[in-house]
């Protein structure tokens, strides 16, 4: 089966005209980014028990029913709307599996303006240090994880959230700014500030932050 060569805008127009196949193609094009977001924001107790791909698929089933309303009055770019819908499905997964055991939001890192599950400094540190896996780096990894967590927790919460959106979720600067309701220039400043804080943690370490940041 040949790949659909239509642009995202062409697919979106087709979906507005009732083409469910076009909507499916659009969601598939964004699947990797959505699964990355789910993996990052999923409660650690559910990792290995819940497949991020299943969360995205369940969200897609809900999106099919909601799309006509979105298409008639799109208040967000399609990807950001889709991301929000997937995030809400992840909230539902947390409630189903954890119920009253859901962690206290006051212990979280993120100040995300929305219903998405938030991210702990431990999860962020582990994602950031994922490449440090050799035996010779094991001791340094333990030390760095603690220092990275301290750096993340000491950041301005909005700087930290921009870091999550830009680096870990790989949103564009414009997307991150829209999610947070700030100007793109402010998002850039916050991202640069957050990166500098992390670079200070890695100063003097073999390879520096660039080796881990990729």
Distance CA 38, CA 46 (A): 11
Angle formed at CA 45 by CA 36 and CA 132, multiple of 5 degrees? 55
Mean pLDDT of 167-186: 92
The per-residue b/e assignment along 102-133, b for 16 or more CB within 10 angstroms, e otherwise, is eeeeeebbbebeeebbbbbbebbbeebbeebe
Higher-confidence residue of 103 and 21: namely: 21
Structure tokens at 119: 């991210």
**Residue 2 φ then ψ, to 5°:** -75, 150
Strand ranges, E, within the chain: none
Which residues in the chain are classed under CATH 1.10.1740?
8-102
At 125 the pLDDT is: 82
User: What proportions of the chain, in percent to the nearest 5, are helix, strand and coil?
Assistant: 70, 0, 25
One DSSP character per residue, 65-87 reads: HHHHHHHHS--S-HHHHHHHHHH
Residue 132 confidence class, pLDDT cut points 50, 70, 90 = low
At 208 the pLDDT is: 52
Distance, C-alpha 130 to centroid of its chain? 16
Residue 116 has pLDDT above 80, yes or no: no
At 210 the pLDDT is: 52
Which residues in the chain are classed under CATH 1.10.10.10?
106-213
At 209 the pLDDT is: 54
Q: What is the 8-class DSSP label of residue 47?
A: B
Query: 56-81: per-residue pLDDT in tens?
Result: 999 999 999 999 999 999 999 999 99
Query: 35-46: per-residue pLDDT in tens?
Result: 999 998 998 889
CATH number of the domain located at residue range(s) 8-102 in this protein: 1.10.1740
Domain 106-213 in this protein, CATH class: mainly alpha
Among the ranges given (104-108, 120-124, 162-166), the one the predictor scored with the smallest mean pLDDT: 104-108
Residue 105 confidence class, pLDDT cut points 50, 70, 90 = very low
Distance CA 210, CA 80 (A): 29
C-alpha torsion 152→166→176→18, nearest 10: -130
At 127 the pLDDT is: 78
Cβ-Cβ contacts under 8 Å for 212 (sequence gap 6 or more): 128, 129, 131, 132, 202
Higher-confidence residue of 206 and 82: namely: 82
Overall pTM > 0.85:
no
At 106 the pLDDT is: 36
Mean pLDDT of 102-126: 61
At 32 the pLDDT is: 94
Decide: 12 and 89 in contact? Cβ < 8 Å: no
In a 3-state reduction of DSSP, which class is residue 50?
A: strand
């Amino acid at each position: 089966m040949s790949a659909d060569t239509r642009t995202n805008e062409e697919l979106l127009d087709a979906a507005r005209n009732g083409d469910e196949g076009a909507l499916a193609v659009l969601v598939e094009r964004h699947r990797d980014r959505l699964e990355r977001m789910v993996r990052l924001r999923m409660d650690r107790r559910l990792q290995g028990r819940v497949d991020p791909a299943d969360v995205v698929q369940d969200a897609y089933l809900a999106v099919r029913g909601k799309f006509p309303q979105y298409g008639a009055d799109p208040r967000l770019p399609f990807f950001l709307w889709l991301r929000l819908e997937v995030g809400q499905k992840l909230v539902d997964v947390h409630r189903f599996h954890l119920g009253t055991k859901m962690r206290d939001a006051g212990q979280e890192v993120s100040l995300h303006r929305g219903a998405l599950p938030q991210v702990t400094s431990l999860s962020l540190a582990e994602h950031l240090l994922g490449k440090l896996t050799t035996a010779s780096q094991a001791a340094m990894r333990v030390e760095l994880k603690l220092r990275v967590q301290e750096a993340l927790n000491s950041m301005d919460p909005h700087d930290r959230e921009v870091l999550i959106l830009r680096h870990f979720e790989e949103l564009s600067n414009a997307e991150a700014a829209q999610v947070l309701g700030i100007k793109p220039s402010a998002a850039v400043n916050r991202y640069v500030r957050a990166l500098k804080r992390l670079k200070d943690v890695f100063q003097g370490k073999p390879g520096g932050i660039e080796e881990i940041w990729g």
